[in-house]
Amino acid sequence: MTMLIRGGTLVSTDRTFIADILIDGGKIIAIDESDGSEIRNPDTGRRRTPPEVETIDASGKLIFPGGVDPHVHLDLPMFDTVSSDDHYSGTKAAAFGGTTTVLDFVSFDHPTLGESVEAWHQKAEKAAVDYSAHMNLTRFNEKIAAEIPYLLEMGISTLKVFTAYNGRLRLEDGNIFKALRVARENGMLVMLHAENGDVIDILVAEALAAGHTSPEWHAKTRPAWGAVESALRAFALAATADAPLYLVHMNTAGEVDMLKYGRERGLKVMGETCPQYLFFTEDDLRRPDGAKWICSPPMRSAADNARLSEGVADGTIQTIGTDHCPFFQDGTQPILYEGKMIAIPGKELGKDDFTKIPNGLPGVEDRLPVLWTSGVGSGKLTANQFVALTSTNPARIFGLYPRKGALLPGSDADIVIWDPHRKARHGVAQSHQRTDYNLYEGWELCGMPEKVFLRGQLIVDGDKWLGKAGMGEFLPRMPGAPVL
């Protein structure tokens, strides 16, 4: 269907301008900055009168490329339960928040990488927005090393490694170094979860022996210095391997300092933070409902919030993801979701032991409205920075640009019509994330999606859901994406 979005204010990473967008076949086919009576042919530059089209008046509204969340976990098993959003409910929630592309993670649960990817595809095929995945590299030997390049044939160009979760997910430094060299040889990008697993294991054992079982001890046993030294150690490995590295969910001031240090010295390193690390602290874990804030890595301090915000504003940090991985606060009490009652064991599993609280938070729907209100609304970010951090930069880093993250002729018509003046009191009642709480309960937000299009199809219209399970497409990604 041919569609014309008329009179909106388009926002890219470097420009803000009023224009019309002509859409056909799921793609943007032309953008016109004239008075809107005609559209330029993108091939010839000549003007032509648009055919009979469906016209949407976006006057007074902003137009963004659909959000790209580079970091979500959907249908993820953990601690004898599973994250409460699957690939349908989580991507539906993403769409309501203005995000039209998500990047999930493939768990290395099968004998080979290929079998693990195939199992993930079977779970992900119900997605309601477009999606791709990173490969968790949690075992390593020469046979696995030889298999890594074949991930590119499966459309996966990124690997994630861990310096924590000893005996489960962690790779030793030597194997991380080897993985970095394989990645360099094949134009792939390695992502890093930076914490010191050895220190964590010692502190957890000591805490439990002393009877410390409340949620705040989750943070106390995962010290910020462990993240800082692990980040710099991994940067050194990447520099030695001459390979790019992307630091996920940065949560402490020292990581910002280390990233800045590395980039100033020409290292091919980049970083991501998440909204929760900009607003919440270890004090939230001391609340009676502190288990709601349990995630790994944990919340830090107000000073860390401030330094991370500085890193976002000054460009040290390239992207803002969510690490969306929700669990029920009380999985013994069902909630109504799409007409059915559902209950999934959640954070109550660790009511007597912080080590048994499932690690993860909801956030994929909240990301854009919360960041717009707190960042652009307060003057800390420009609208152009907002688009770069939440859409264009992740699309470029992860090999999706300009198909995603752009408002350009030839790009997918993933478009958000944004009302910068729409106000709402946010919370679980307004959220579409399939869980029983919201981190931003009661927050007054100003700036919301009005309409959301996926490849030219309207999937969110105000409070109406027009999408469906399975309409999302898997996005194969090419190697050699830029280091921003």
% of the chain exceeding 90 in pLDDT:
95
Nearest to 368 by CA among 102, 59, 152, 5: 102
Q: What per-residue confidence (pLDDT) applies to 53?
A: 87
The rounded Cα 86 to chain-centroid distance in angstroms is 15
Q: For the residues of 292-342, what is the DSSP string, one character each?
A: GG--SSPPB-HHHHHHHHHHHHTTSS-EE---B----S-TTS-EEETTEEE
Of residues 373, 421, 392, 418, the one with CA closest to residue 275: 373
Which pair of tokens denotes residue 117? 């990817």
Provide the token pair at 184: 């360099």
What is the per-residue pLDDT across 244-264, written as a single tens digit (0 to 9) for each?
999 999 999 999 999 999 999
pLDDT tens digits along 92-149: 999 999 999 999 999 999 999 999 999 999 999 999 999 999 999 999 999 999 999 9
CA distances to 138, 153, 172, 174, 175 from 141, in Å: 10, 20, 11, 11, 8
Residue 94: CA atoms inside 13 Å, Cβ hemisphere, count? 41
Q: What is the pLDDT of residues 426-470, one digit of tens each?
A: 999 999 999 999 999 999 999 999 999 999 999 999 999 999 999
**pLDDT digits over 189-234, tens only?**
999 999 999 999 999 999 999 999 999 999 999 999 999 999 999 9
pLDDT tens, position by position, 327-369: 999 999 999 999 999 999 999 999 999 999 999 999 999 999 9
* Residue 36: per-residue pLDDT: 47
Q: Which residue has the tokens 């909106």?
A: 8
Write down the pLDDT at residue 39.
52
- 360: closest CA among 69, 67, 70, 81? 81
Q: What is the pLDDT of residues 21-70, one digit of tens each?
A: 999 999 999 999 875 445 545 454 544 545 678 999 999 999 999 999 99
Q: Which domains does the chain have, with CATH numbers?
A: 3-64+407-465 (2.30.40.10), 66-389 (3.20.20.140)
**For the chain, the helix, strand and coil percentages under 3-state DSSP, each to the nearest 5:** 30, 25, 45
Q: Angle 253-264/224-241 helices, nearest 10 degrees?
A: 20
